[in-house]
Amino acid sequence: MKRRKRSQLKVNPSGFEPGQIKFYLILIPIAIFMIVPVIFMINQAFKPLGELYAFPPTLFVKEPTLDNFEKLMALSGSTGVPMLRYLVNSVFITLVTVVINILVTVSCAFTLSKKRKYYITRVFFELNQLALMFVTVAVAVPRYLIIVKLGMINTWGAHIFPLIATPVGLFLMKQFIDEIPDALIDAAYVDGAGNFTVIRKIIIPMTKPAIATVAILTFQTAWGATEASNNFITLDVMRTIYYYLNSLATNNAVAAAGMVAAGSLILFIPNLIMFIASQSKVMSTMSHSGIK
């Protein structure tokens, strides 16, 4: 028993062990390599125009300034639609999309995983797998025709409807639900629980890591989406901040470099915060979903 405990401590020690040094020698350079772009982006937002175009470029800002943020706010106010309106639009669209997407994904994954395996069920799952092959550009025309037929032009639904279901999220969720014992769900049915009760009291609590992953993927997609603002929306007051900052970079590539850097930081921070808050659940999902 003592030998077994000692060997286990060496394999997975609770504290620092000299044998871990070789792993740190690999992980620390990789971590530095991955954090450098984040540091560069943060410093870019506070650089004056002269440092932005300096050669060779510098990683750290020498004379930090808030002028880029002030110019960005002033320019958005002069266009008739303040940047705060674009920001509120993006927050509203993203939050509603994430909530609806989670509800749809969990319900569909539960149906595909635990309900009776009809032939049509397998067909639907195979179609979902097939949808993973298509990029957004490939379905732009069919998506536009659907939005027009549903009368969603210049509505919030044009932003939300195309993103309420994602093939990747459904695949991850189904793989996770497959590991929940059927006997546990059958016992709930015997006790008189319905489908919604099973989803609310069994599926959701036991799939929190997968739900967190789906939420992150949906958040990133909805937060950075410009398709609806470009193709389905003609009113500026209903467009997103991502669209506004992209159009700013396109129309004033040189003069607006500082404002673009400040806007890029504003867009990046929510993604960073959400990923840091949910990274442990994301890793748990990947280890349980069959992606190895």
Domain ranges of the chain: 22-65, 83-288
Q: Residue 86's pLDDT is what?
A: 87
Q: Residue 48's pLDDT is what?
A: 82
Angle at 100 between CA 211 and CA 223, to 5 degrees: 80
Q: Residue 282's pLDDT is what?
A: 61
**192-205 exposure pattern, b = at least 16 Cβ within 10 A, e = fewer:** ebebeebbeebbbe
Q: Residue 66's pLDDT is what?
A: 85
pLDDT tens, position by position, 10-51: 555 566 667 777 777 888 888 888 888 888 888 888 888 777
Give the C-alpha separation, 154 to 231, whole Å: 10
pTM for this model (two decimals): 0.79
Give the C-alpha separation, 10 to 107, whole Å: 44
Answer for the pair 114, 182: CB distance below 8 angstroms, yes or no: yes
Please determine, looking at this structure, whether the domain spanning 83-288 carries the CATH number 1.10.3720.10: yes
Query: Which pair of tokens denotes residue 276?
Result: 């840091």
**Nearest partner of 216 among 224, 226, 227, 205, judged by Cα:** 224
Answer for the pair 76, 86: CB distance below 8 angstroms, yes or no: yes
**Nearest partner of 243 among 83, 72, 98, 40, judged by Cα:** 83
Q: What is the mean pLDDT of each run of 10 residues along the chain (292 residues)?
A: 46 64 82 86 84 80 84 72 86 93 91 76 81 80 90 91 87 86 87 86 86 88 87 88 78 69 85 76 55 43
